[in-house]
Amino acid sequence: MAEEKTEKSVVSINGEEYDPSDLTDQQKYLIAQVQDLQNKRQAAQFQLDQVAIAADSFMQKLLTSLSEEVVEEAEVG
């Protein structure tokens, strides 16, 4: 994992600290890619949590509706 620590101007990767000025352009690019992908993963998980809860809510409403229908039929029949 890559974490940028701005207060010390170092990059921490797997517990090791690196001075950004010692990194190659390719390493800096790869760090930026990892950080961007971590942000995207977090955003995707956030959205997935919302979708899962919404789907559960709709399923619960459907089950409630079906059980009410069964009760109404029993009262009529």
Please state the pTM of the whole predicted model. Answer: 0.67
d(CA 43, CA 71) in angstroms, rounded, equals: 42
State the total domains in the chain. Answer: 1
pLDDT tens by residue, 7-61? 568 999 999 999 999 999 999 999 999 999 999 999 999 999 999 999 999 999 9
Q: Give the Cβ contact number of residue 3 at 10 Å.
A: 14
Residue-level pLDDT at 6:
46
Please give the residue range of the domain that contains residue 38.
2-76
| Helix locations, the chain, DSSP H | 25-76
What the block records as the tokens of 75 is 């009262």
Contact 20, 10 (CB under 8 A): yes
| CA nearest to 21, candidates 33, 29, 9, 12 | 9
Residue-level pLDDT at 61:
97
Residue-level pLDDT at 69:
82
Residue-level pLDDT at 7:
54
